[in-house]
A and B are shown apart, each in its own frame.
Chain A
Amino acid sequence: MSSAESRNATGTGSRRSYIGWLMGLCAAGVSAVLFVPLVRYSIYPLRTKTTGVKWADAGAVSDFASMTGPVQRSITVEQVDGWRKTISEKVVYVTKTAAGQLQVLSAVCPHLGCSVPWSAAKEKFVCPCHAAVFDANGARLSGPAPRSMDSLESQVENGHLMVRYQYFRQLVPTKEVIG
């Protein structure tokens, strides 16, 4: 614009450049005002968690007060993905540690992923697929499992035992989250 003004002998040079500058400023102002909502709109998923698994309710803490062994619970796991969510039922076991703390175990065998049932008769977890054996707190006793049964993050909220369901890698000796 400035060169056009300088070469146009008929225009009042400084007034044109002033108007040009003023319009540039207005354009910048308008852009800034409209730009802000556009930017915030597009970075929304960076600032809010739009994916992830919600904490599931395993039941009232009072339900587990008088348990004699691991209690099987079916929790509803909600996986949120943007504008949709998947709801699935997962089996977990609620156990009590020696110190009396509530602990939640994933029923997924760390060997090859079969569902591990609790045998009340044997007082052990015995995986029916390849006979991996775990004690009442999920600790590995014998069999092909590379590690103990995976414990899930849990916390007590408003008298309810909340569980954070996660998936762990099979066949490795360390507990690795994969989803």
Chain B
Amino acid sequence: MSELSNQNQPGPAKSRRRLFRWLDQRTGLDGVLRESLDEPIPGGARFAYVFGSALLFIFISQVITGVFLALYYVPSADHAHTTVAYITKAVTAGSFLRSIHAYGSSAMVILLLLHVTQTFLYGSYKGRRELLWLSGCVLFAFVLCMAFTGYLLPWDQKAYFASAVGTNIAGEVPFIGAWLKEFMRGGADMGTLTLSRFFVAHVLGVPAAIFAFIALHVYLFRKTGAAGPISENPVSPQLPAEPFYPRQVVVDAVFALSIIVVLALIAHFEPFDLGPSANPADTHYLPRPEWYYIPIFQWLKYWPGSLSFLGVVAIPSIIAFFFASLPFLDRRMERRPWKRPVAVGTYTFIFLALFGLGFLSYHSDHSDPGYAAQLITQQKDTEDFMRKPFEPEVAQSLSSGLAAIPADPLIAKGGQIYQVQSCNACHGDGGVGTAAAPKLTGIGDRMSAAQLTALLKAPTPKMIAGGMSPTDLPGEQMNALVSYLEALK
């Protein structure tokens, strides 16, 4: 507050200032705040600059929702789907939070495209911003990695098959392809080890790297300064600068707030689906990646067999190389898009091509009756699964002595009698024997049913000394018990 307004309210303002000074003397908070909030923006605050901070905001939202999802999620092939179903169907606000997280990943990709397009069109990579651009490219790759690894975690049909396709594509990389695919999968096939690796990448590895590169990216941005509008000199800004706070902060905050409101509304009214559990044996399943990978998915169709290296590896690598080295290739200080036909033209062409590929993919899916029918079936299966209430997973019971229930009901009954009469206490479950009494497996080879029945009714002195008491049961119960014993192997 300025000195003027302080005079009107001396009490609370003064103690606030005293508290602030106490903190500042111990932390240097004032310097940090001034440094971060007084960032000069040549040419003033603009809506066009919101996308970077929006990305950071949504990333933090993803981290928070992700951490909470991890309270219930278990990353193993036998529990992943059940735990995601538990979150979606049982836990309070589970579906809402999961939907925010899943739609948030799409929001990240959209904001990424907006941010890249804006900085590209404005030529904000020029004027000693090469490293800033490169760190941004690395972040771009990391965000796509997060989307790819996160996609597998629910372990439903869609997740499993899309990731199988994705890791197969990794196998196309020359020289190291086969090794890379096995490294990603944790083996030759998709399995629980794949899930563990993707989980560690998604939750531990890549987020840590993202945080590090965000710090680098923001640092480099502040070092070279905001580029400002396209009329501004990229190396030495001429236009009068406006501090980041308050106007840009307000614009950024309003935009971030509106994104979160939109996400919350979508999450509430259109919860993110969970399909039925992954079934690797399903040969009919048509995998489709999430919308942002569809253009690449369509592109791959044009490069079968021996051409696949060209289309899958060579061309994308060349595009990525030119994209990343843009600040090194384009050394002109010119920032106006209409004066940069090559750069802007190429970018526009690729953007429209990706869009066109996406449209072609949609069209081909829906014009082929077989594909269209299968996709409708898959959607219906998902809806059916979502309608069912939560089904807890049945764990292996530790306390049932019978590992397998025999088919013959007489033997099964005999097995139960064996337990009720506490035979298992000394002779062990399934007659395997303990220190207290010998094993009964194979007794059917040594004694007939009649001999065994007689022995049970009148044990030998040795047996009696060991603690065995005569077994006196009615006819059919005796019959059942002896049948069970005779069958023990």
A residues apposed to B, CB below 8 Å: 1-8, 11, 13-17, 19-20, 23, 26-27, 30, 33-34, 37-38, 40-42, 44, 47, 72, 74, 80-91, 107, 109, 113-117, 119-121, 127-129, 131
Q: Which of B33, B264, B416 contacts A4 (CB 8 A)?
A: B33
Contact (Cβ within 8 A) B400 A88? yes
Compute how far the CA of A85 lies from the CA of B393 in the bound complex, rounded to whole angstroms. 6
A2 and B1 contact, Cβ closer than 8 Å, known pairs A20-B246, A88-B400: yes
Known contacts A19-B250, A84-B395, A86-B396; decide if A13 and B34 are in contact (CB<8 Å).
no
B423 CB to nearest A CB, Å: 8
Instruction: Give 9 A-B contacts (CB < 8 Å), ordered by A residue.
Output: A8-B38, A13-B4, A23-B249, A80-B392, A85-B393, A90-B399, A91-B420, A116-B422, A129-B467
In the bound complex, residues from chain A placing their C-beta under 8 Å from that of B20 are: 2-3
Contact B37 A4 (CB under 8 A): yes
Q: How far is A116 from B422 in the complex, measured between Cα atoms in Å?
A: 7
Q: Which of A13, A40, A129 contacts B422 (CB 8 A)?
A: A129
Query: Cβ of B392 and Cβ of A14 under 8 Å apart?
Result: no
State the Cβ distance, B93 to closest chain A Cβ, in Å.
Answer: 4
| Chain B positions within 8 Å of A33 at CB level | 264
Measured between beta carbons, the chain B residues less than 8 angstroms from A30 are 257, 260
Contact of A86 among B68, B395, B424, B469 (CB under 8 A): B395
Contacts of A40 in B (CB 8 A): 92-93
Contact of A38 among B2, B64, B260, B392 (CB under 8 A): B64
- A50: nearest chain-B partner, CB-CB: B90
Query: A-B pairs with the 3 shortest C-beta distances?
Result: A13-B2, A37-B93, A83-B86
Q: Does more than half of chain B's interface fall in helix, strand or loop, or is it mixed? A: helix
Return A33 CB to nearest CB of chain B, in Å. 8
Q: A114-B422, A114-B425 are in contact. Are A87 and B38 (CB under 8 A)?
A: no
Structural contact, A16 and B422, CB atoms closer than 8 A: no
Interchain CB contact under 8 A, B425 and A115: yes
A2 vs B156: C-alpha distance when bound (angstroms):
51
Query: Given A3-B24, A83-B392, A127-B422, are A13 and B397 also a contact pair (CB < 8 Å)?
Result: no
Q: How far, in Å, is B229 (CB) from chain A's closest CB? A: 21
Among B2, B82, B94, which residue has its beta carbon within 8 angstroms of that of A6? B2
In the complex with contacts A83-B393, A85-B395, A14-B92 CB distance below 8 A = no
Chain A residues contacting B396 (CB-CB under 8 Å) are 86
In-complex Cβ contact of A37 among B96, B419, B467 (8 A): B96
Q: Which residues of A contact B83 (CB under 8 A)?
A: 83
B416 & A74 in contact (Cβ 8 Å cutoff): yes
Q: Chain A contacts of B2 at CB under 8 A? A: 5-6, 13-14
B94 and A41 contact, CB distance less than 8 A = yes
> Whose C-beta in chain A lies nearest to the C-beta of B34?
A4
Complex Cα distance, B82 from A84, in Å, reads 8
Interface residues in chain B, defined as those with a beta carbon under 8 Å from any beta carbon in chain A: 1-6, 13, 16-17, 20-21, 24, 30, 33-34, 37-38, 64, 68, 71-72, 79, 82-83, 85-86, 90-94, 96-97, 243, 245-246, 249-250, 253, 257, 260, 264, 390, 392-400, 416, 419-426, 467, 469, 472, 474
Knowing A41-B92, A129-B422, say if A119 contacts B472 (CB, 8 Å).
yes
Neighbour of A2 across the interface among B17, B246, B249, B398, CB < 8 A: B17
B91 closest partner in A (C-beta): A44
**Contact in complex: A42, B71 (CB < 8 Å):** yes
Q: How far is the CA of A45 from the CA of B316 in the complex (A)?
A: 48
> What's the Cα separation between A42 and B390 when bound, in Å?
18
CB atoms of A6 and B1 under 8 A apart: yes
In the docked arrangement, what's the CA distance between A109 and B419, Å?
13
Q: Given A41-B97, A42-B68, A115-B425, list of 5 further CB < 8 A pairs?
A: A2-B13, A3-B17, A7-B34, A13-B3, A129-B422
* Contact indicator A115/B421 (Cβ below 8 Å): yes
CA distance A107 to B21 in the complex (A): 73
| Nearest-CB residue, chain A, relative to B85 | A83
B57 to chain A, nearest CB (A): 10
Question: Which has the most chain B C-beta neighbours within 10 Å: A87, A91, A113?
Answer: A87
Name the CB-closest residue of A to B82.
Answer: A83
Q: Are B394 and A91 in contact (CB under 8 A)?
A: no
Q: Is the CB of B97 within 8 A of A13?
A: no
A34 to B256, CA, bound (A): 14
Contact of A14 among B1, B86, B394 (CB under 8 A): B1
B1 touches A13 (CB 8 A): yes
Q: How far is the CA of A131 from the CA of B468 in the complex (A)?
A: 11
Q: Write the chain B residue with the least CB distance to A131.
A: B469
Complex Cα distance A28/B264, Å?
16
Asked whether B397 lies within 8 Å of A91 as measured between CB atoms, the reply is no
* Chain B residues within an 8 Å CB radius of A23: 249-250, 253
Instruction: State whether B397 touches A87 (Cβ < 8 A).
Output: yes
A51 to chain B, nearest CB (A): 11
Q: B96–A115 contact, CB under 8 A?
A: no
Chain A contacts for B392, CB-based, 8 A = 80, 82-85
> Complex formed: what's the CA distance from A117 to B418 in Å?
10
Chain A residues within an 8 Å CB radius of B24: 3
Bound: A104/B160 CA distance, A: 48
Question: Nearest chain A CB to B410's CB is how many angstroms away?
Answer: 16
**Using Cβ atoms and an 8 Å threshold, which residues of chain B touch A27?**
253
With CB as the reference atom, state the residue of chain B lying closest to A20: B246
Query: Taking the nearest CB of chain B, how far is it from the CB of A108, in angstroms?
Result: 10
B97 touches A37 (CB 8 A): yes
8 Å CB contact of A26 from B257, B399, B421: B257
Cα A89 to Cα B13 in complex, Å, equals 70
